[in-house]
Amino acid sequence: MFKPARMKKLRIITLDKYADSAVSSLHEAGLVQIEDISERIQQDAEWRQILKPSSTSPFTGKISSLLMKTSGTVDFLKSMSRKEKGILPLVKGFISPPPIKKVEVEALDTQELIQKAEKILGEVESKTKPLEEKINQLDSRKTELENALRVARNLSNFNVDLGLLEESDYVSVIAGKLSLESYDKFMGNLKDLTDEIVVFDQDSESKGFKILVVVTVNKHAEEVLSQLRKMEFERFEFLGLSGKPDELIGKSQSELESIAREKESILNQLADISAEWFEELRALKEELEIEKQRNEVFSSFGETEKTVLFEGWVPEKKLKNALLTIDTSTEGHSIVDVTDPDVEKDEIPVQLDNPKFAKPYEMFVHMYSPPNYREVDPTILMAIVFPFFFGFCLTEAGYGIADALIGYIIFRGLGRNSKTMANMGLIMIACGVWAVILGLVTNSFIGDFFPRFIWGDTAMALPTTIPSINSFAHPENILIIAILVGVIHLNLGLAIGAYNNIVRGDMKEALGAQIVWFILEAGVVLLALGYLLLGGGILMYAGIGVLVLSLIMLVYFNGMFGIMDVSGFLGNVLSYARLLALCLSTGGIAMTVNILTGICAEMIPLIGIIIAPIVFVGGQIANLAFQTLGAFINALRLHYVEFFAQFYIGGSQKFKAFRAKRKFTNIGGK
């Protein structure tokens, strides 16, 4: 429970004709992590004499190609599906998302799956491809019409057939938009350009611009264009346009409306196809992903002419099931060698083994680093202490209720389809409960909401308050509690670190890195007791002696710089004072919002009654969001930086079972 799961090492030999069934069965069971032995075979001469590395299945390329095609089709149909618009469906999707509907599929071999995929993709493509091509044509035509509309609107004041503006054998026509400043400059330069040029201009609908139609002979066209380009001239393209601008505007608008209607109709057809095929294609994609994994895993094996050999890891608790799965899938034609791992030489994958209540917190340990195989797994301790630290940082009953409710909504909503979100929901519930408990005993429920607005006497405290730890009256006592909690937390980490070192046989490290701090603390306690209880005497001298002993040990085990570690240890203890700071800031800001609400209601006539609730709700929500985030980060920091630093090494690889992840499919019989 406080250690990672015990692991067993497997070496499996079976006939090549049973390799597929063995791989498929192990993949569905998800019990074993397969190791890649191909490199060892290539590098070890003894192994190379017996085995050769297996290669991937010849179908891997085909499967990958079909998977890519299916993924593209799934994404396309997802984008074409009908979606409810508005905030309400969004909120509903968060609070109560529909459960994932799994598709019942058959257990197919690789070739059968390829045939199935080709058939389904062909059928879907025969329906979607013509519609996609039609949409592309409509989009292309829409772009042309929008350009025509833009040009026609800009040239509407010229009232000329745009077909006449096309270039001829001798004359070039350039039309476009130019700023007034550049226009003046261009007109001033005309004499230097050529005499064989005529410029027509009109005011643009855009303020500060002119619309120009420049007519010149072909041989001067490039030079004129070059001058205009230097002035950020926006040229209009009217190739293929004909008719007067007003006629063109009316015609283009009418056709654009027609295109919009036709496109809407096609999108509806695609939405129907999406509704019919999306779930089946999503299931097909999952089947192909699983098949790809199975085909690729063979490259990790070794083989002879008639047999295959592969190795793997299995948690000791699942060994029996793994052996039964291998024996059944190979019809007894297999040999399995089970050994204990060599903790010094093997890179043993780590699987955390914790009770149900602590499982959600395993992700925090994995985020930091999976523990060493022989280390203590801190997950259970984190499951107990993390919500308490969060509650201590928040220490606010009203906010705690809100956090617990949000956690419940996440657990019951998004948590239905996501294990990670379910775990996050459970963690938030636990954190919220601790915030409620600590908020009630320290007199904080949305700051001083009840005394200020309900009872009308800000001197009153909540009936659940313990007077000596009233956060508004006795913050010094909360500081003492925070420091004591920190000392206990750090000593727990030191005890675990000492245990880890002793198990590893490194007594010197245990004495110099952990046990010495226990001795130092004992010296401080004796010194304090001697001074406070006896005013000096033997107890005080004993404390001084123990303190000196701890300093000698620090120098002996860690060198002269070991003395510097005392300030580091003191810094770690004082880090826990943040619990007080965060506790007071939450209640303090909440109380400030309450005061501002009261001022708005009393000081601003009439409108104050409307503004006050807005200030209260907005201010409290903002404080809740910031303080919740701060409490989460600081609770995590106290574990990662202060607690784990006393004992944690980590760095192992996480156990990754060779498992078929079936989120959208259920496998059935043929």
21-41, pLDDT tens digit by residue? 999 999 999 999 999 998 888
pLDDT of residue 369: 92
User: Which is it for strands 7-15 and 307-315: parallel, antiparallel or unpaired?
Assistant: antiparallel
Instruction: Report the percentage of the chain scoring pLDDT > 90.
Output: 58
**If one looks up domain 147-252 in CATH, what number appears?**
3.30.70.2750
pLDDT of residue 57: 78
User: Which is it for strands 197-203 and 171-179: parallel, antiparallel or unpaired?
Assistant: unpaired
Weakest-pLDDT range from 183-197, 202-216, 462-476, 492-506: 183-197
Contact 466, 442 (CB under 8 A): yes
Weakest-pLDDT range from 52-56, 348-352, 385-389: 52-56
Q: What is the rounded CA–CA span in Å between residue 160 and residue 152?
A: 10
pLDDT of residue 408: 95
pLDDT of residue 377: 93
For CATH 3.30.70.2750, list the domain ranges present in the chain.
147-252
pLDDT of residue 229: 83
Q: How confident is the model at residue 670 (pLDDT cuts 50, 70, 90)?
A: very low
Q: What is the rounded CA–CA span in Å between residue 136 and residue 129?
A: 11
Asked if pLDDT for residue 50 goes beyond 90, the answer is no
Asked if pLDDT for residue 669 goes beyond 50, the answer is no
Q: How confident is the model at residue 45 (pLDDT cuts 50, 70, 90)?
A: confident
Q: What is the rounded CA–CA span in Å between residue 281 and residue 116?
A: 11
Mean pLDDT of 85-92: 79
Weakest-pLDDT range from 44-58, 240-254, 391-405, 474-488: 44-58
Contact 38, 302 (CB under 8 A): yes
Q: How confident is the model at residue 49 (pLDDT cuts 50, 70, 90)?
A: confident
pLDDT of residue 535: 72
pLDDT of residue 107: 87
Q: How confident is the model at residue 668 (pLDDT cuts 50, 70, 90)?
A: low
Asked if pLDDT for residue 131 goes beyond 80, the answer is yes
The amino acid present at 322, given as its one-letter code, is A
- 420-459 as b/e: b if 16+ CB within 10 A: ebbbbbbbbbbbbbbbbbbbbbbbbbbbbbbbbeeeeeee
Mean pLDDT of 374-386: 94
Neighbours of 47 (CB within 10 A): 16
Mean pLDDT of 563-588: 89
Asked if pLDDT for residue 663 goes beyond 60, the answer is yes
Beta bridge partners of 176: 212, 235
pLDDT of residue 157: 82
Cα of 557 vs its chain's centroid, Å: 43
Contact 624, 586 (CB under 8 A): no
Instruction: Report the percentage of the chain scoring pLDDT > 70.
Output: 100
In sequence order, the 6+-apart residues with CB closer than 8 A to the CB of 666 are: 102, 103, 104, 105
Beta-strand runs (E) in 163-203: 171-179, 197-203
**Count of residues for the chain?**
670
The dihedral region occupied by 576, where left means phi > 0, alpha psi between -120 and 50, and beta the remainder, is alpha
Asked if pLDDT for residue 570 goes beyond 80, the answer is yes
pLDDT of residue 592: 94
Instruction: Dump pLDDT digits (tens) for 630-656.
Output: 999 999 999 999 999 999 988 899 999
Give the pair of three-digit tokens for residue 222.
């490039």
Q: What is the rounded CA–CA span in Å between residue 390 and residue 382?
A: 11
Asked if pLDDT for residue 423 goes beyond 60, the answer is yes
Give the ranges where 395-418 is alpha helix by DSSP (H): 397-412
